Amino acid sequence: MDIKIIKNSTPKAKPDQNSLGFGNYFTDHMFIMDYTKGIGWHDPRVVPYGPLELDPSAMVFHYAQETFEGLKAYKAIDGSIQLFRVRDNLKRLNISNDRVCIPQIDEKMMFEAIKTLIEVDRDWIPSAPGTSLYVRPFVIATDPYLGVRPASTYKFMVILSPVGAYYKEGLNPTKIYVEDKYVRAVPGGIGFAKTGGNYAASLKAQVEANEKGYSQVLWLDGKERKYIEEVGTSNAFFKIEGKVYTAPLEGSILSGITRDSAIKLMKDWGYEVIEQRMTIQELKDLYEEGKLEEAFATGTAAVISPIGTLGWNGEDMVINESRIGELSQKLYDAITSIQYGKDEDKFDWITKI
């Protein structure tokens, strides 16, 4: 693939590495490639970061035909640049694309796009502890048309955002609200796809949970409204009498790459990890019996997020005295050590660029 590079002639000043936050700053360049039905993907290019000009009738604005991914590039301790499980993210983007009728994109082509863009903007990768460069590939439908059908033109793009350490002073247990009014996904729906509609559907629940003093929601299944699914944009795990439980991948939850990494590590350490449906009532009963030892969520942004409180039915379950669990801490340390090149990459998760 021949990627054309047009350099930004007015690069921006880099932000302070100690106050990056998440998703606030963008680098000097972006990657764009177009799709036209009958031609395929064409014109791959790195261009100066900036606004797009799109027809107001572009289909993505009206019917949300779009997909996205999120992964991180790390400045390793030896100074090299490491991507974590990038092949899995690109595979998942094509799974999402298939669900919303966006044409498949060659995974090698997407990798070249990400690699080239990061090389052009490599000075933007922060090096302060816990920081990284968040990579956001996405696809949008661009036909100027108001009928409902799959588009025949698209843009695949990649933007980069230097992001801060999620936790400045160690892992911070969160307060999570068990959502019993709104649902995120239903069997046969789009829950397993990283596509905009899922997030639009989740906002109201998040806002109402925030108003009640919780930071995120734990979703229950959309059909019977009792099986535990996932937490906001992360997957949920519960340690019960030494065994670890998480929801199975049955189409309504996102197949998290951090989820998979955590499962592989825990199995390697000898834990029994059980992917099985569990109702919120079952979890509450186990909590009452003193058997719920730890709860945590997994996702690219925070890696591991201990759950300190679960609010359900007007009562709060306070888990592990709202302290960071031993397993949560161990997983966080193990995954981040691989990401920053401090530990051996025994699962072949790292791609150096």
Ligand X SMILES: *Cc1c(COP(=O)(O)O)cnc(C)c1O
Scan residues 283-312 and list those touching ligand X (CB under 6 A): 298-300
**What's the length of the chain?**
353
**Nearer Cβ to ligand X, position 235 or 309?**
235
Rg of the chain over Cα atoms, rounded to whole angstroms, equals: 21
We find the least distance from the C-beta atom of residue 340 to ligand X, in angstroms, to be 17
| Sequence-separated (6 or more) residues with CB below 8 Å from residue 214 | 175, 176, 177, 309, 311
259: contact with ligand X by CB under 6 A: yes
| Sequence-separated (6 or more) residues with CB below 8 Å from residue 195 | 64, 66, 67, 68, 96, 99, 100
Distance from chain centroid for Cα 222:
21
We find the least distance from the C-beta atom of residue 347 to ligand X, in angstroms, to be 15
We find the least distance from the C-beta atom of residue 174 to ligand X, in angstroms, to be 15
257: contact with ligand X by CB under 6 A: yes
Scan residues 61-120 and list those touching ligand X (CB under 6 A): 70
**Nearer Cβ to ligand X, position 39 or 200?**
200
Using a 10 angstrom Cβ sphere, with 0-12 exposed, 13-18 middle and 19 or more buried, the burial of residue 245 is buried
> For residues 153 and 94, is the Cβ–Cβ distance under 8 A?
no
We find the least distance from the C-beta atom of residue 56 to ligand X, in angstroms, to be 28
Tokens linked to 153: 């033109």
**Location of structure tokens 């920053």:** 340
**Nearer Cβ to ligand X, position 115 or 259?**
259
135: contact with ligand X by CB under 6 A: no
Q: Considering only residues 215, 235, 252, 328, which one is a binding residue for ligand X as defined by CB under 6 A?
A: 235
**Nearer Cβ to ligand X, position 206 or 233?**
233
Q: Considering only residues 233, 305, 320, 328, which one is a binding residue for ligand X as defined by CB under 6 A?
A: 233
We find the least distance from the C-beta atom of residue 258 to ligand X, in angstroms, to be 3
**Nearer Cβ to ligand X, position 142 or 300?**
300
We find the least distance from the C-beta atom of residue 232 to ligand X, in angstroms, to be 7
193: contact with ligand X by CB under 6 A: no
The H-or-E segment that residue 75 falls in is: strand 71-75
Tokens linked to 65: 């035909």
234: contact with ligand X by CB under 6 A: yes
Q: Considering only residues 258, 309, 328, 336, which one is a binding residue for ligand X as defined by CB under 6 A?
A: 258
We find the least distance from the C-beta atom of residue 13 to ligand X, in angstroms, to be 30
Scan residues 33-72 and list those touching ligand X (CB under 6 A): 70
> For residues 263 and 256, is the Cβ–Cβ distance under 8 A?
no
Q: Considering only residues 28, 66, 229, 230, which one is a binding residue for ligand X as defined by CB under 6 A?
A: 230
Number of residues that bind ligand X (CB under 6 A): 14
Helices (H), the chain: 59-63, 86-99, 107-120, 196-211, 257-268, 280-288, 326-339
Dist. CA 126–CA 134, nearest whole Å:
10
The H-or-E segment that residue 133 falls in is: strand 132-141
Residue ranges in contact with ligand X by CB under 6 A: 70, 194, 230, 233-235, 254, 256-259, 298-300
